[in-house]
A = this chain, B = another copy of it.
Amino acid sequence: MNRLIQSGDNSLLTEERKKCTFDTDVLAAIFHESEQKVRRRREIYQYYLKHKELHDPEPVEFMDRYHRLENAQRKVVLLKKHLPTIIPDLNIEDMHTFVTLVFHHDGYPLGLHNVMAIPTILNNADEEQAREWLPKARNLEFISTYAQTELGHGTNLRKLETTATYDPKTQEFILNSPTVTSTKWWPGNLAKVSNYIVVVARLISNGKDYGPHPFFVQIRDPKTHKSLPGVTVGDIGPKFGINTTDNGFLRFDKVRIPRRAMFMKNAKVLPDGTYVPPVHSKLAYGTMVYVRSVMITGMARDLAQAATITTRYSTIRKQGEIEPGKGEVSVLEYQTQRYRVFPQIARAWAYEIAGRYTRMMYSQFLKDVNEGKADVLPDLHAISSGLKGVVTHQVCLGIEQCRMACGGHGYSDVSGLPQLFAFAVGGCTYEGENMVLLLQCARYLVKCAAAIRFNQKPSRISPIAAYLFNENAAKKCRINQDTDSDPEVFLEAFEHIAKRLTLKAFDRLQSLQQGGLTKDKAWAESGVDLRRAATAHTRTFIARQFANMVSGVKDLASRAVLKDLLQLFLNYEVLECDGDLLFDGYALGQQIEFARNNVYEIMNRLRPNAVSIVDSFDFTDRELNSALGRRDGHVYENMLEWAKKSPLNKHDVMPFHHQYLGKVMEEARAHSKL
Instruction: Decide: B528 and A249 in contact? CB cutoff 8 A.
Output: no
Instruction: Decide: A404 and B418 in contact? CB cutoff 8 A.
Output: no
A156 at the interface (CB under 8 A from B): yes
A119 at the interface (CB under 8 A from B): no
Instruction: Decide: A657 and B335 in contact? CB cutoff 8 A.
Output: no
Which A636-664 residues sit within 8 Å CB-CB of chain B? 636-637, 639-640, 642-649, 651-654, 656-664
Chain B residues, Cβ within 8 Å of A434: 404
Instruction: Decide: A236 and B156 in contact? CB cutoff 8 A.
Output: no
A97 at the interface (CB under 8 A from B): no
Q: How far is the CA of A192 from the CA of B159 in the complex (A)?
A: 52
Q: Which of A137-145, A267-275, A611-619 contacts B (4 or more CB under 8 A)?
A: A137-145
Which A156-180 residues sit within 8 Å CB-CB of chain B? 156, 159, 180
CB distance from A395 to the nearest CB of B (A): 13
Chain B residues, Cβ within 8 Å of A672: 136, 139, 141
Chain B residues, Cβ within 8 Å of A577: 579
Instruction: Decide: A226 and B149 in contact? CB cutoff 8 A.
Output: no
A222 at the interface (CB under 8 A from B): yes
Instruction: Decide: B648 and A191 in contact? CB cutoff 8 A.
Output: yes
Residue of B nearest to A237 (CB): B646
Chain B residues, Cβ within 8 Å of A236: 412, 414, 639, 643, 646
A454 at the interface (CB under 8 A from B): no
Q: How far is the CA of A673 from the CA of B324 in the complex (A)?
A: 77
A585 at the interface (CB under 8 A from B): yes
A428 at the interface (CB under 8 A from B): yes
Chain B residues, Cβ within 8 Å of A319: 153-156, 159
A525 at the interface (CB under 8 A from B): yes
Instruction: Decide: A222 and B669 in contact? CB cutoff 8 A.
Output: yes
CB distance from A407 to the nearest CB of B (A): 6
Chain B residues, Cβ within 8 Å of A155: 319-320, 407
Q: How far is the CA of A412 from the CA of B340 in the complex (A)?
A: 29
Q: How far is the CA of A433 from the CA of B320 in the complex (A)?
A: 14
Q: How far is the CA of A76 from the CA of B644 in the complex (A)?
A: 27
Residue of B nearest to A433 (CB): B407
Which A127-150 residues sit within 8 Å CB-CB of chain B? 132, 135-136, 139-143, 149
Determine which of B77, B323, B335, B340 lies in contact with A525 in the assembled complex, contact meaning CB atoms within 8 Å: B335
A334 at the interface (CB under 8 A from B): yes
Chain B residues, Cβ within 8 Å of A238: 61-62, 412-413, 646
Q: How far is the CA of A531 from the CA of B339 in the complex (A)?
A: 11
Instruction: Decide: A404 and B428 in contact? CB cutoff 8 A.
Output: yes
Q: How far is the CA of A518 from the CA of B643 in the complex (A)?
A: 41
Q: How far is the CA of A578 from the CA of B583 in the complex (A)?
A: 8
Q: How far is the CA of A649 from the CA of B159 in the complex (A)?
A: 29
CB distance from A398 to the nearest CB of B (A): 13
Known: A323-B518, A336-B435, A336-B528. A69 touches B246 (CB 8 A): no
Q: How far is the CA of A413 from the CA of B242 in the complex (A)?
A: 12
A360 at the interface (CB under 8 A from B): no
Q: How far is the CA of A240 from the CA of B241 in the complex (A)?
A: 10
CB distance from A389 to the nearest CB of B (A): 11
Q: How far is the CA of A518 from the CA of B486 in the complex (A)?
A: 35
Which A566-582 residues sit within 8 Å CB-CB of chain B? 575, 577-582
Known: A152-B636, A404-B429, A636-B151. A644 touches B234 (CB 8 A): yes
Residue among A73, A191, A582, A584 with the most chain B CB within 10 A? Answer: A582
A371 at the interface (CB under 8 A from B): no
Instruction: Decide: A323 and B180 in contact? CB cutoff 8 A.
Output: no
A214 at the interface (CB under 8 A from B): no
Residue of B nearest to A61 (CB): B238
Residue among A140, A642, A643, A672 with the most chain B CB within 10 A? Answer: A643
Q: How far is the CA of A360 from the CA of B600 in the complex (A)?
A: 40
CB distance from A287 to the nearest CB of B (A): 20
Determine which of B136, B193, B239, B673 lies in contact with A418 in the assembled complex, contact meaning CB atoms within 8 Å: B239
Known: A239-B413, A408-B154. A636 touches B222 (CB 8 A): no
Chain B residues, Cβ within 8 Å of A328: 156, 159
CB distance from A71 to the nearest CB of B (A): 9
Chain B residues, Cβ within 8 Å of A608: none
Chain B residues, Cβ within 8 Å of A323: 518, 520-521
Instruction: Decide: A69 and B669 in contact? CB cutoff 8 A.
Output: no
Which A241-270 residues sit within 8 Å CB-CB of chain B? 246, 249
Determine which of B222, B340, B400, B524 lies in contact with A333 in the assembled complex, contact meaning CB atoms within 8 Å: B524
Determine which of B186, B235, B649, B671 lies in contact with A649 in the assembled complex, contact meaning CB atoms within 8 Å: B235
Q: How far is the CA of A195 from the CA of B665 in the complex (A)?
A: 10
Which A398-434 residues sit within 8 Å CB-CB of chain B? 400, 404, 407-408, 410-414, 418, 422, 425-426, 428-430, 433-434
CB distance from A628 to the nearest CB of B (A): 11
Instruction: Decide: A154 and B407 in contact? CB cutoff 8 A.
Output: yes
Q: How far is the CA of A642 from the CA of B61 in the complex (A)?
A: 23
Q: How far is the CA of A657 from the CA of B223 in the complex (A)?
A: 11
Chain B residues, Cβ within 8 Å of A430: 408
A229 at the interface (CB under 8 A from B): no
A11 at the interface (CB under 8 A from B): no
Instruction: Decide: B404 and A426 in contact? CB cutoff 8 A.
Output: no
- 7 more A-B contacts (CB under 8 A) besides A159-B328, A239-B413, A411-B429? A65-B648, A66-B648, A109-B661, A143-B661, A181-B636, A236-B643, A578-B583
Q: Which residues of A contact B (CB under 8 A)?
A: 61-62, 64-66, 69-70, 73-74, 76-77, 80, 109, 132, 135-136, 139-143, 149, 151-156, 159, 180-181, 183, 185-186, 191-193, 195, 220, 222-227, 234-240, 246, 249, 317-324, 328, 333-337, 339-340, 396, 400, 404, 407-408, 410-414, 418, 422, 425-426, 428-430, 433-435, 439, 518, 520-521, 524-528, 531, 575, 577-585, 589, 592, 596, 600, 636-637, 639-640, 642-649, 651-654, 656-666, 668-669, 671-674
Offer 12 A-B interface pairs, CB within 8 angstroms, sorted by A: A76-B660, A77-B660, A152-B317, A159-B319, A180-B637, A180-B640, A183-B640, A191-B648, A236-B646, A411-B429, A528-B596, A582-B582
Shortest Cβ-Cβ A-B pairs, 5 listed: A578-B579, A336-B527, A73-B660, A582-B582, A240-B418
